[in-house]
Structure 1
Amino acid sequence: MSTSAPTPPAALITGGTSGIGRATAELLHARGYRVMVTGQNPETLDAARRELPDDVVVLRADARSLPDADRVADEVRTRFGALTALFLNAGVTRLTPLAEADEATFDEVFQVNAKGQFFTLQKTCPLLADGASVVFTVGIGATRGIAGGSVTAGSRGALLAMVPSLAVELAPRRIRVNAVSPGAIDTPIWTKSGMPAELLAQVTEATAARVPFGRFGTADEVAEVVAFLVSDAAGYVTGQNIVVGGGIGLGA
């Protein structure tokens, strides 16, 4: 009597065309997951389509757009049927001093980092298999002070505040909800922060000096933590925030 092979696990990664999201997509794919990634930047979308394995689905989606979230959910339903892992990683960083912050920047950051991720979860929640895993990217700025980082930290901190309640709400379906908080990680998000090159060099040098390991982390190192959180090895872990920062701030 022949038996059918088990269906491979499936993962959706928002903000998955570069940095931590892309590293996680590559890692999960290598471990047997069917993978779908979303992004908005035309350059990183094109690069992902060229360079990721052919069976990784790459979709253009604006994290601020609820219609786009509906479209992504429809694609997941059509291609995968159900999700084993949801990595809500899309986000923007804007280092803006209080006196220089404007409404447009505030709205953009909260729409991408908080609103977009919350509603992507809402739209895809019916597709999450019982026992699935949800991981939010938060970042250490939500719990450690960064000059000029209040808007970004507030938007990410909103996600962190949601995690315990979402973990309780989804526990009857054995769906785990956690967060990962990268510290100083070498990704394109630094160059996209809007800082002048000279200031960026100063900030990155000062940041690395605060890390006991004396270096920035890598996207691959964060991806390994995400892969753990979505795996059965983390089957009794929910409502938590894991900092991946090389001990930044310890002893400071």
Structure 2
Amino acid sequence: MLKGKTALITGGASGIGLAAAKLMHANGAQVVITGRDPGKLESARKEIGEDVLALQADVLSRESLLAMTARIKESFGGLDVFFANAGVAYVTPLATTTEEAYDTLMDTNVKSVFFSLQAVEPILRDGASVILNTAWLNQVGVPGRAVLSATKAAVRSFARTFSAELLARRIRVNAVSPGLIDTPILRGVGQSEHPGQSDAEFKDYLAGAAKLIPIGRLGRADEIASAVLFLASDASSYMLGSELVVDGGFGQL
């Protein structure tokens, strides 16, 4: 599906990013992944394929993004696919959220998406596909997730506005909207409103959350990767500014 194309995945060393990188590579793409941890990047590169370009880059640094872009241009000449996947997620209760936590979520999930696309836009080939990672939270109201939900709603808006702005170059911008997906970020620090929970208590929390999903379980990273592959490929050529929801029916039923 992607033979002869070059794809960049930010946050490609784990979770959804890694699953998407593996699937794109398996479908013929030359893959570039980025991340901040060199050890995780090297491990991911070996897992995906020796020909993968793994670049240490910080999406919060404009200088780092420009250096990343220059390296990709030097190596491949341009990009056909860009999956803006890097992000963070944790609870933000109204009463206790700090300004630092607010800024971290906004900068990582919104500002970095804007400036990542700004950095790579000059090397995107005409007709390229851009996929933004939003979330089911942009459609529902969940207590304690106000800031996270706002960041994902902003990214959903980007899919529309960037599509309009890049229309003359036939660059399609769409969003993938995962539900609750079993990835390392879901089990990371800050996911629960009760930070003192034991591992067993957190597993009970996840089991209870799964019961609320119509399909009856959490999603898998490879299921989101399949949706990303579709948006990256010519199979989605008539989709522009759209949101592809992959949430087990949680925000739909």
TM-score where L is the length of structure 1: 0.92
1:240 equivalent among 239, 242, 246: 242
- Aligned residue type for 2:155: L
Cα gap change, 1:45 to 1:63, in 2 (>3 Å): same
* Gap runs ≥5 in structure 2: none
Which piece of structure 1 moves more, 159-168 or 222-231? 159-168
Q: Distance in 2 between matches of 1:53 and 1:45?
A: 12
Q: Distance in 2 between matches of 1:118 and 1:126?
A: 14
1:118 maps to what in 2? 114
Alpha carbons 2:25, 2:31 under 8 Å: kept: yes
**1:231 positional shift:** 0.6
**1:109 positional shift:** 1.0
2:37 maps to what in 1? 41
**1:75 positional shift:** 1.3
1:167 equivalent among 163, 166, 180: 163
Alpha carbons 1:93, 1:193 under 8 Å: kept: no
Q: CA RMSD in A?
A: 1.5
Which piece of structure 1 moves more, 76-85 or 37-46? 37-46
2:95 maps to what in 1? 99
2:59 maps to what in 1? 63
**1:147 positional shift:** 2.0
**1:205 positional shift:** 1.7
1:3 maps to what in 2? none
Q: Distance in 1 between matches of 2:155 and 2:200?
A: 32
* Gap runs ≥5 in structure 1: 1-6
Q: Distance in 2 between matches of 1:201 and 1:96?
A: 20
Which piece of structure 1 moves more, 94-103 or 46-55? 46-55
Q: Aligned pair 1:87/2:88, yes or no?
A: no
2:206 equivalent among 177, 185, 204: 204
2:11 equivalent among 11, 15, 39: 15
Q: Distance in 2 between matches of 1:42 and 1:100?
A: 33
- Aligned residue type for 1:218: R
TM-score where L is the length of structure 2: 0.92
2:227 maps to what in 1? 225
- Aligned residue type for 1:205: A
Q: Aligned pair 1:155/2:157, yes or no?
A: no
Query: Structure 1, residues 14-51: CA drift from partner, whole Å, max 9, x if none?
Result: 01110111001000001110000011235522421332
**1:191 positional shift:** 1.4
Which piece of structure 1 moves more, 184-193 or 118-127? 184-193
**1:183 positional shift:** 0.2
Q: Distance in 2 between matches of 1:249 and 1:178?
A: 18
The size of the alignment, in residue pairs, is 245
**1:204 positional shift:** 1.3
- Aligned residue type for 1:17: A
Q: Distance in 2 between matches of 1:81 and 1:131?
A: 15
**1:178 positional shift:** 0.4
Alpha carbons 2:130, 2:174 under 8 Å: kept: yes
Alpha carbons 2:20, 2:222 under 8 Å: kept: yes
The secondary structure found in structure 2 opposite 1:77 is helix
1:216 maps to what in 2? 218
- Aligned residue type for 2:152: R
Query: Structure 1, residues 222-244: CA drift from partner, whole Å, max 9, x if none?
Result: 11111011111111101001110
